[in-house]
């Protein structure tokens, strides 16, 4: 019994040291020096390469590397849905300064999900910074960009595999 109590005490004492040595996840949210620097910005995204104007474009933007590119798992992510016929541009408004990544897909049949055939996407998809695919979706670091106090314009190329 004494050994168990000692082990628990040692674990409690050494946990803060072990945790301090662990790297923290990188979420590059800038804290503004003054209130005027914290003014929200907007992001205008040009969407290139749509193969049709059917269905809708579903886009999501997150600052959380752990939930990219599946932003559905991030309660703070921003989501936009626009008809593909009007989907040449989308705009995220009132975005706080920080580091973000965007994922989107062309939901051609309008069912709200990415359709696949033999594990490959049947519908188009794209990522901010035209992040490359490497045996799966890109990581947050490859797709992320910094948002400052001015409007940001970027482009996302939609890719189709099937």
pLDDT of residue 157: 97
Residue 7 lies in a domain: no
Q: How many domains does the chain have?
A: 1
State how far the Cα of 12 lies from the Cα of 4, in Å rounded to an integer. Answer: 12
Provide the 3-class DSSP secondary structure of residue 13: helix
Positions in the chain whose pLDDT score sits under 50:
1-36
pLDDT tens column, 70-96: 998 999 999 999 999 987 899 999 999
Residue 93 lies in a domain: yes
State how far the Cα of 91 lies from the Cα of 36, in Å rounded to an integer. Answer: 22
Residue 11 lies in a domain: no
pLDDT of residue 134: 86
CATH number of the domain at 116, please. 2.60.40.10
pLDDT of residue 26: 35
Residue 80 lies in a domain: yes
141 token code pair: 């670091």
* Whether the bond into 15 is cis, omega within 30 of 0: no
Residue 68: closest CA among 142, 130, 161: 142
Q: Where are the beta strands (DSSP E) in 63-161?
A: 78-83, 89-95, 98-107, 116-117, 120-121, 125-127, 145-147, 152-157
Residue 8 lies in a domain: no
């Amino acid at each position: 019994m004494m050994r168990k109590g000692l082990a628990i005490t040692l674990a409690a004492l050494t946990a803060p040291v072990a945790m301090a040595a662990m790297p923290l996840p990188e979420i590059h949210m800038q804290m503004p020096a003054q209130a005027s620097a914290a003014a929200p910005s907007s992001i205008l995204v040009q969407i290139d390469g749509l193969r049709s104007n059917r269905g809708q474009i579903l886009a999501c933007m997150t600052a959380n590397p752990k939930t990219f590119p599946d932003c559905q798992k991030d309660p703070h992510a921003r989501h936009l849905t626009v008809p593909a016929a009007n989907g040449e541009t989308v705009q995220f408004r009132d975005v706080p300064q920080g580091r973000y990544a965007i994922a989107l897909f062309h939901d051609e049949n309008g069912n709200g999900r990415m359709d696949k055939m033999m594990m490959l996407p049947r519908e188009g998809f794209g990522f901010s910074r035209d992040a490359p695919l490497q045996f799966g979706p890109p990581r947050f670091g490859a797709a992320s960009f910094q948002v400052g106090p001015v409007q940001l314009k970027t482009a996302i190329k939609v890719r189709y595999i099937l």
